[in-house]
Each structure stands twice: as structure tokens, then as C-alpha cells.
């Protein structure tokens, strides 16, 4: 991976490119047989295979519309040669390993790397060009690579070059999406973008676990297959994917003056329960917005769901008000209001789809309706809140 060696953003993009390309390369190699992928072990990406040659991938990502051409003198080329030649000399490179230099740059015509492309290959020409450059230049940036390459015997150099495949003009990080989508052949066309985005999001997390040592060792292709199946299953007609986590306390902002919080102050309930209400509200709001944005849910679906919740609430609210009567004391009204709200917290269970049973969707949707004053808990919630707001604006 390369870019501006002093640019933190370029370095970060390089690591993200490595992870994203590893997913693409895995999908391209998955053929039903077990496959393992390793990051930052023997190379940027490695595919160790028990019954087939190992594949080692070096990635060079260059931002910008016109990256510099890959030439015989390129540091990218010599840095890869240094790694592979050193390992070959030390006996750490298997004799049948296939080596890939993958770059977003384009090979210069008649350069050494141009003769290592998949077509019109000529390892002997590449060797002659590399040796000529190694003998003529004193460039410090390629010194280690040149020395490692020159230290190989002629047969070793040719053997090494025979196994190197230069894949140039590869897509930039954002342009990998099309190739990733093309590998999701069994996904409905209307859902491909969502599956791809969800898969990449999960893959970044999985790579972070692998690189940090939280889940050490190679990643098995079975994990990728199972994740694709799980995402696809969540997109069935009776289900929706749940992919929004509960927010932390520091993500909530100031919610004290929101209507849903004011409604709870009329009961009242503890600050811990108000905090949980805010988390349910934000989690449900974010998840519903994501479903709408991904066209997994329509506005009409949401209207129908909210109508169901309001109908269920109204039945219980009307019974509560009827049993309290018109002469109930405030303490009695608060007690019954708490009981109604407790039902929302602990018992209300109305899945938005039959198999989408995450409880926060129901609880949070009730908080959203409460914030819109379309449902309430205190028998006189509308009057009390209108009076309080009137005093504030007076």
C-alpha cells in the first residue's frame, strides 16, 4: 500500500483499500472449496491453500486522477521485489507461491513491470531491464530492493519473475464497489447495494478484529458466506436487517426539553428510565431512517406501523381514563400513567415485520410518537404540556 508517506489520510485510505480489496479478492476466489485469507502476515494479503499454490498480494493505492506510471525505477516495484527476493533468499517463500503486485497506477510502456502483466509476459526482458537499472542508479529509495534482487542467482531471479503478476490500472477504493456488486450474483438487483454496503461494513470490523489480535488467525471464506446469507435473510419479505446499535450516553445530546422527556416528567419516572427512553428513541429513529434510505421500508409501511401502535395505545389509554373517572386525584392519575408506561417498557411487542423482533423498534417508535404528542401516558398529558409550553413562551 502506498500514497504520500507523510499523509495520514493517504495511509488510512491505503489500509481501507487493503481490507476492501481483500474482500473482493476473496469473493473472486470462492468456489465452494475452503479458503483462508490473511492480512499483514506474509504480505498485505495472503491466501494460504493446502491443495493449491499460495497467493501473496502486495497493494499500491494512489489517490488522484492521474497517479504516476509504474516504471522500472518505481519505488513501488522495488519495495515489492525487496520483500519477495529477501524471503526467497531466506527460504521463506514456497517454490510455487504466486505473487501479485496490484496497483492503481498504469505500467509505463516497455517497462519491466509491463512485461509481468498477465498478457504479453516476458520474464527475461523484465530481468534485463531490472538489472540494467540496478546497475546504473544510486537512488536511495530503491537501494534495498536493488541489492536484494541482485543478490539472487540468475535462475532464482527468473523463477521469481515468472511467478510475479502485475495487475495495473486497478480501481480506486470507491470504484471497487462495482466489482464487489458483480460478485453478489444471487442477490436481488434492487438489494445489491444494501447487501454490498452491509457486507463491507461488517468486513471492515472483521479485519480490525484480525489485525488487532482480538480474533487472531486467518479469516475463513465460510464466515463471508454466512454473513452474505444472514444479510440476505434479513431482506426477506417478513424481515428487516437490524444493524444500528444502542447509542452511548455521550451520543444523545440534550434531550431534556424534548416532548417525550417532558411526558415522562409528568409521571414522574427515574432519570435512568428517561435516559433509556432517549436511547430507544435515537436507536429506533436511526434504524427507521436507514431502512427508509435503503428503500427496505416505504413511508406507507411506516404509516401503517405507527397506526397499529397508536391503536394499541389508544385502547389501553381509554380504559385507563375510563376507570379513573373525572374526579381522580393527581397521585392516582400518576400511578395509572406509570402502569401504562411500564407496559410500553416491558410488555409492548409489535414487530414491524414478523421476523424483525428487536424490542427497541417498538419502544423507540412509541417514544417518537410521544415526542410528536400522538400518544401520551398521563391522562391529561395534552393539557399539562400545552400549559407548560404556554408558560415558557409567555
229 with 260, same domain: the answer is no
282 with 386, same domain: the answer is yes
Q: What is the pLDDT of residue 390?
A: 66
Residue 239 lies in a domain: no
Q: Residues 6 or more apart from 346 whose CB is under 8 A from it? A: none
Q: Residues 6 or more apart from 182 whose CB is under 8 A from it? A: none
Q: What is the pLDDT of residue 5?
A: 40
102 with 50, same domain: the answer is yes
Residue 242 lies in a domain: no
Q: What is the pLDDT of residue 201?
A: 93
62 with 184, same domain: the answer is yes
Low-confidence ranges of the chain (pLDDT < 50): 1-7
How confident is the model over 339-359, as pLDDT tens digits? 999 999 999 999 999 999 999
178 with 270, same domain: the answer is no
Domain limit, last residue, from 234, 263, 291: 234
224 with 254, same domain: the answer is no
Domain limit, last residue, from 234, 267, 299: 234
The residue range of the domain holding 337 is 249-393
Residue 138 lies in a domain: yes
How confident is the model over 355-392, as pLDDT tens digits? 999 999 999 999 999 999 999 999 999 999 988 776 66
Domain limit, last residue, from 209, 234, 259: 234
Q: What is the pLDDT of residue 187?
A: 81
73 with 146, same domain: the answer is yes
226 with 352, same domain: the answer is no
Q: Residues 6 or more apart from 278 whose CB is under 8 A from it? A: 252, 255, 258, 260, 261, 367
184 with 285, same domain: the answer is no
- Number of domains present in the structure of the chain: 2
pTM, two decimal places:
0.74
Q: What is the pLDDT of residue 4?
A: 45
191: which 3 cell numbers? 438489494
Q: What is the pLDDT of residue 393?
A: 55
Amino acid at each position: 500500500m502506498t500514497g504520500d508517506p507523510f499523509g495520514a489520510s493517504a495511509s488510512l485510505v491505503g489500509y481501507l483499500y487493503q481490507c476492501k480489496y481483500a474482500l473482493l479478492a476473496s469473493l473472486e476466489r470462492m468456489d465452494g472449496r475452503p479458503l483462508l485469507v490473511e492480512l499483514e502476515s506474509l504480505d498485505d494479503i495472503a491466501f494460504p491453500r493446502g491443495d493449491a499454490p499460495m497467493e501473496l498480494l502486495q497493494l499500491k493505492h494512489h489517490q488522484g486522477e492521474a497517479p504516476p506510471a509504474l516504471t522500472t525505477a518505481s519505488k513501488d516495484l522495488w519495495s515489492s521485489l525487496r520483500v519477495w527476493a529477501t524471503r526467497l533468499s531466506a527460504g521463506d517463500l514456497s517454490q510455487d507461491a504466486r505473487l501479485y503486485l496490484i496497483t492503481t497506477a498504469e505500467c509505463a510502456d516497455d517497462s519491466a513491470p509491463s512485461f509481468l502483466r498477465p498478457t504479453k509476459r516476458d520474464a527475461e526482458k523484465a530481468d534485463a531491464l531490472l538489472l540494467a537499472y540496478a546497475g546504473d542508479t544510486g537512488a536511495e529509495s530503491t537501494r534495498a530492493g536493488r541489492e536484494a534482487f541482485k543478490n539472487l542467482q540468475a535462475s532464482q531471479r527468473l523463477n521469481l519473475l515468472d511467478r510475479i503478476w502485475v495487475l495495473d490500472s486497478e480501481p480506486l477504493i470507491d470504484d471497487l464497489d462495482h466489482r464487489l456488486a458483480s460478485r453478489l450474483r444471487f442477490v436481488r438487483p434492487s438489494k445489491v447495494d444494501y447487501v454490498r454496503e452491509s457486507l463491507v461494513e461488517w468486513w471492515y470490523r472483521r479485519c480490525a478484529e484480525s489485525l488487532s489480535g482480538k480474533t487472531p488467525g486467518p479469516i475463513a471464506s465460510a464466515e463471508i458466506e454466512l454473513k452474505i446469507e444472514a444479510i440476505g435473510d434479513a431482506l426477506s419479505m417478513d424481515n428487516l436487517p437490524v444493524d444500528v446499535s444502542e447509542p452511548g450516553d455521550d451520543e444523545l445530546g440534550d434531550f431534556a426539553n424534548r416532548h417525550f422527556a417532558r411526558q415522562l416528567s409528568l409521571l414522574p419516572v427515574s432519570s435512568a428510565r428517561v435516559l433509556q427512553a432517549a436511547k430507544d428513541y435515537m436507536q429506533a429513529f436511526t434504524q427507521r431512517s436507514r431502512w427508509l434510505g435503503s428503500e427496505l421500508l416505504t413511508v406507507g409501511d411506516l404509516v401503517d406501523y405507527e397506526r397499529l401502535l397508536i391503536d394499541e395505545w389508544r385502547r389501553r389509554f381509554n380504559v385507563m381514563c375510563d376507570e379513573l373517572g373525572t374526579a381522580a386525584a393527581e397521585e392516582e392519575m400518576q400511578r395509572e400513567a406509570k402502569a401504562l408506561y411500564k407496559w410500553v417498557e416491558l410488555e409492548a411487542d409489535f414487530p414491524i415485520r414478523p421476523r424483525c423482533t428487536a424490542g427497541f423498534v417498538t419502544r423507540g417508535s412509541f417514544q417518537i410518537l410521544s415526542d410528536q404528542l400522538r400518544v401520551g401516558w398521563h391522562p391529561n398529558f395534552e393539557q399539562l404540556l400545552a400549559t407548560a409550553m404556554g408558560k415558557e413562551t409567555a
